[in-house]
Amino acid sequence: MNPRDFPTFVRQLPEADLPCKGLRGWLMESPHGQVVFKEAETEATIPEHSHGEQWGVVVDGRMELTIDGYMRLYMRGDFYSIPAGKRHRTRVFPGFKAVDHFAEAGRYRPKSQ
């Protein structure tokens, strides 16, 4: 097992209904926000959008994050922050893993079984 793989107890959390094929995630909810453990099996792009504040860390792989037209590449160990209401888009690559904390509870819903 790769030490950067999410452990079984994370994969037993409710699976998130994420907006693009090839990207999976597991939800941890609180009244104060939501944590999503994400991984990509293939290249995936989340189109431009906005929401409440988001903070995250890349666990493995790489991601392109574009905020206000400025693109930056993030790799393992990099932290990122997206201010509330900022328009942004994300492109992830195979092997990408990250942990995101959203300030708003219920950002993603559990996937229907």
In this predicted structure, what is the pLDDT of residue 113? 58
Ranges of the chain whose pLDDT falls below 70: 1, 113
Task: Yes or no: say if 17 and 110 are a contact pair by the CB < 8 Å rule.
Answer: yes
In this predicted structure, what is the pLDDT of residue 112? 83
Which phi and psi angles does 22 have, rounded to 5°? 95, -10
Task: Yes or no: say if 102 and 34 are a contact pair by the CB < 8 Å rule.
Answer: yes
Domains of the chain: 27-102 (2.60.120.10)
| Strands (E) located in the chain | 23-30, 33-40, 44-49, 54-60, 62-67, 70-75, 79-82, 88-92, 97-102
Residue matched to tokens 């992830």:
92
In this predicted structure, what is the pLDDT of residue 19? 84
> By C-alpha distance, which of 113, 104, 97, 87 is closest to 16?
113
